[in-house]
């Protein structure tokens, strides 16, 4: 009789354990990291280059390490987000052939991303100094989300492209991308070409 009682108690505890562990699991909503973005503030570029503009105080101006021969190429490095705006400068020197080659190169570099881009929105711009250019916003899992060029059509040509050095998906970076786009538009609007460099 005692063994039947022990078996009944053990069976009861096992049954209670099995049925009490069953829970209705509710999937958690998709979450994103919180990104605190600073209030935008700007300062003028201090380097001796054939251009000047206001750039974010949260970016550091660095010489471009990709092509050391090009002394007028710089990067704006946003260290907190490991993002860089690559700025490449070419002198037009009054040559229509040079201008045409630079324009074709800029458009070609943007169109190379069509394979991965969901879309490319392009718009013609004119800054307060009268320089013309083009901005391209790329959507999708592309390595660069924003590109532009600005030229005075006779002497100067400046191209910029935003890159992140991270494997994080672009939808997670979206607030940072939008923040830096505003900075880049401020750069374009404050851009002045000079005779230095």
The predicted-structure confidence for 60-106, as pLDDT tens digits, reads as follows 999 988 777 899 999 999 999 999 999 999 999 999 999 999 999 99
Residues in the chain: 197
The structure tokens listed for 158 are 């400046």
Q: How confident is the model at residue 117 (pLDDT cuts 50, 70, 90)?
A: low
Q: Give me the pLDDT at residue 184, please.
A: 97
Residue owning tokens 């100067």? 156
Between CA 125 and CA 148 the distance in angstroms is 10
**Residue 16, SS3?**
helix
Q: Cα–Cα distance between 160 and 170 in angstroms, integer?
A: 19
Tell me, what's the pLDDT at 111? 67
Structure tokens belonging to residue 166: 């991270």
Helix (H) or strand (E) holding 136: strand 132-140
Q: Is 148 exposed, middle or buried (0-12, 13-18, 19+ CB in 10 A)?
A: buried
* Tokens standing for residue 180: 């830096």
Residue 22 has pLDDT above 60, yes or no: no
Give pTM, 2 decimals.
Answer: 0.78
Q: Is the pLDDT of residue 2 over 70?
A: no
Q: Write out the two tokens for 124.
A: 């013609």
Is residue 113 scored above 60 in pLDDT?
A: no
Whether residue 187 contacts residue 53, with contact meaning beta carbons closer than 8 Å, is answered with: yes
What is the pLDDT, as a whole number, of residue 139? Answer: 78
pLDDT tens, residue by residue, 6-16: 777 666 666 66
Q: Which domains does the chain have, with CATH numbers?
A: 44-193 (3.40.1000)
């Amino acid at each position: 009789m005692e063994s039947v009682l022990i078996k009944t108690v053990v069976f009861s505890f096992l049954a209670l354990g099995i049925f009490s562990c069953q829970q209705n699991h509710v999937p958690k909503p998709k979450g994103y990291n919180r990104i605190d973005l600073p209030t935008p503030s700007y300062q003028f570029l201090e380097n001796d280059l054939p251009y000047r503009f206001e750039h974010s105080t949260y970016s550091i101006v660095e010489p471009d390490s990709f092509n050391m021969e090009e002394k007028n190429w710089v990067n704006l490095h946003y260290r907190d987000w490991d993002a860089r705006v690559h700025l490449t400068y070419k002198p037009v020197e009054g040559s229509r052939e040079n201008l045409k080659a630079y324009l074709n190169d800029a458009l070609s570099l943007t169109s190379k991303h069509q394979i991965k881009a969901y879309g490319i929105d392009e718009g013609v711009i004119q800054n307060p100094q009268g320089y013309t250019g083009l901005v391209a916003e790329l959507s999708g899992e592309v390595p660069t989300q924003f590109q532009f060029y600005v030229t005075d059509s006779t002497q100067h040509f400046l191209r910029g492209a935003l890159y992140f050095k991270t494997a994080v998906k672009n939808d997670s970076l979206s607030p940072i991308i939008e923040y830096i786009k505003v900075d880049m538009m401020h750069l374009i609007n404050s851009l002045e070409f000079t005779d230095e460099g």
